[in-house]
Amino acid sequence: MSAAAQPRPDLRSFTLLSLGVAAALALHLPHLPLWLPPPLLLLIAWRWLGFSRGRRFPALLRYALILALPLGVIATYGTLFGRLPGAALAVGLLALKLTETETRRDVHIGVAVAAFTLMSALLFGQSLLMTLLVCAALWPLLAALTALQPGAGATRMLLREDALRLALAVPVALLAFVLIPRLATPLWGAPGLAQARTGISARMSPGAIGQLLIDDNPAFRVGFDGAIPPRAQRYFRAVVLWHFDGHAWTPGDAPLPLEPIAAQGAPLHYTINLETTRQTLLPALDMPLQPPAGTRFSAARTLLAAQPVDHGLRYSVTSSMRYVLAPRLDAAERRLGLQLPMNADPRARALAARWRQRYGADAAAIVDAALRMFHDDGFRYTLLPPPLGRQQVDDFLFDTRAGFCEHYASAFVFLMRAAGIPARVVAGYQGGYANRVAGYLLVRQSDAHAWAEVWLQGHGWTRVDPTAAVRPDRISLGATAAAQGSGAPWYLSGWWLGLRDRIDVINRLWDQAVVGFNALRQRGLLARFGVDPERWQSVALALGGVLGVVMAVGLALALREPAAATDDVLGRAFARLERRLARAGHRRGAGEAPVAFLTRVAAALPADGAGQLRRLSTEFARLRYACTPSASALAARNWARRAREFRP
């Protein structure tokens, strides 16, 4: 059959399809290039207006747009392949599909393409909110298919029925989620998707941590065996940075022995649930004593995983809050702790030389001098610092004097080394938010932090946080609240904290039960029921048996005598109509038959209302007493709708 001979969809189905396309665009909006969403929204609105007036979209313009879309994607990303360019191309082609939707078959194809595009949104986030939004966006698409069926009811009833269909599909989806074998590597862990959020990295340069300080997503959650430590003690070290080339700090490649530690006081036991990072860095509270199973220590006692963390990881650690780390420093560590690039930042070197001349070998006095400078000389904490030039430390110390933790940690360590004091940068997380509902500590990406360690005779490596000298509330309140300044009270208000507590508990359960449901956990679950997910026969038997039970129950419900349900629909609708008529002064007499009651009321109404009520009375008698059950269900719902719309 040619396209011209195929039936044209009605405006309702096209409108529902357009809503589904717009919803898919909205879910992809955060990661689309800025130039793409406005023309696509305009195209959707223009096409809906043209369809409502019976106009076809210009073919030449459609071909031009189809050609321009991939060219624009290539100009933006340099390729058509990958998660970001693929999503932009899919969303653009989906919107362009509306321009050629002229038949019912086109609506079916458009719904299928829109559903695929919605699924691809889960490659960018698998949170509970994103999953619910994807399900909500499927609603108008399913309604668009239902609207194409002969005898489809009113839009309100149609949406209600499709919402029920989506709800009934949840058990089947749950069975498939549990029984179908999991991929060893998830789809979003494929090559080309590594640009996802990685948290703290092993390289620190201006702006590196700043990109995390505006990210409010969870980094990890910590459950303590006892009380949660005070905020000032919540320093989670992830990587120690020794080498500075004038632009960036890195761990360096010199082999070093494991630094000895003398723990003081009672140890602290806790468990960390780490989000996906695709790195081997594992944060641990200063200072971990033993590496958990499957991990190892770096020389500076940071934890490293054997493999990059491609899915949520849970590990237990014991740390000491009071300790002496490396009470003696060997020659190799001293050289690394004093390394500076040649001819870099001469003004900072001169300042450190003056301190050295004034205080001599008193390292503690030099440290205090640097902290007093940060506190008293007009330095400020900001997440939007001005850019720095080639001499980064000089520009920061003597010109801009504005930055966040990495600026202060980098400049402080540079000054200490220039003054002859071994020092290094430590990057990790500081602070966190104590969830009062579930009793755990939530550490977000915005809690990323950098501080310094200086080596002092008799004390070993000693933590110094120069950011605290500039902005103490960065430690007491956190990065987000400190950046907001006077606007922080709303962020810390009781109602908001209580809401955040409850929302995060739900997100934590979702991450553990759904996002973290990997192949290993699936095998453990199915093994309890005697199912081996690595044997397709076992999985097929289990899946077939469960689906068979579900289909049998559904078939039994479908074949159930519908008369009772029809009577119930008519009965409820008549009861509502009776109450409405009673409020208008027309009460039904004791023992008065429904048809007689409606006929009596119709005689007292004006002509228009009387005619409508008589038709309702006649139809009610036919459905209740004369209609066959197989034909009554849809007609009963239609009568209920007309009765609901009737106004006496």
The vertex-209 CA angle with 203 and 210, nearest 5°, equals 145
Exposed (0-12), middle (13-18) or buried (19+): which is 166, by Cβ within 10 Å? Answer: middle
Q: Are 583 and 591 in contact (CB under 8 A)?
A: no
**Residue 441 vs residues 100, 217, 239, 432: alpha-carbon distances, Å:** 53, 14, 21, 6
Helix (H) or strand (E) holding 473: helix 473-476
Q: What is the DSSP string of 57-106?
A: PPHHHHHHHHHHHHHHHHHHHS-S-SHHHHHHHHHHHHHHHGGG--SHHH
Token representation of residue 121: 């949104």
The radius of gyration of the chain from alpha carbons, rounded to an integer in Å, stands at: 34
Annotation says 368 is catalytic: no
Tokens 């939007």 locate to 384
**Residue 569 vs residues 85, 236, 411, 636: alpha-carbon distances, Å:** 51, 62, 75, 7
The count of other CB atoms within 10 Å of the CB of residue 80 is 12
Q: Sign of torsion, CA 206 202 261 320?
A: positive
Helix (H) or strand (E) holding 142: helix 128-147
| Backbone conformation region of residue 595, classed left if phi is above 0, alpha if psi is from -120 to 50, else beta | alpha
Report d(CA 282, CA 242) in Å as an integer.
Answer: 18
Strands 402-403 and 380-381 come out as parallel
Q: Are 123 and 83 in contact (CB under 8 A)?
A: yes
The torsion angles phi and psi of 367, rounded to 5 degrees, stand at -60, -45
* AA identity, residue 128: L
The vertex-475 CA angle with 470 and 481, nearest 5°, equals 90
The count of other CB atoms within 10 Å of the CB of residue 590 is 5
* Buried-state track 426-442, b at ≥16 Cβ within 10 A, e below 16: bbbbbbbbbbeeeebbb
Report d(CA 271, CA 273) in Å as an integer.
Answer: 7
Q: 3-class secondary structure for 204-271? A: ECCCCCHHHHCCCCEEEEEEECCCCCCHHHCEEEEEEECEECCCCEECCCCCCCCCCEEEECCCEEEE
- List the helix and strand counts (H, then E) for the chain: 24, 19
Report d(CA 70, CA 75) in Å as an integer.
Answer: 8
* Buried-state track 533-552, b at ≥16 Cβ within 10 A, e below 16: beeeeebeebbeebeeeeee
Annotation says 627 is catalytic: no
The torsion angles phi and psi of 444, rounded to 5 degrees, stand at -100, 165
Catalytic residue selected from 106, 162, 286, 465:
465
Annotation says 269 is catalytic: no
Catalytic residue selected from 28, 311, 405, 504:
405
Three-state SS for 119? helix
Catalytic residue selected from 286, 449, 586, 627:
449
Helix (H) or strand (E) holding 638: helix 629-645
* AA identity, residue 625: Y
Catalytic residues: 405, 449, 465
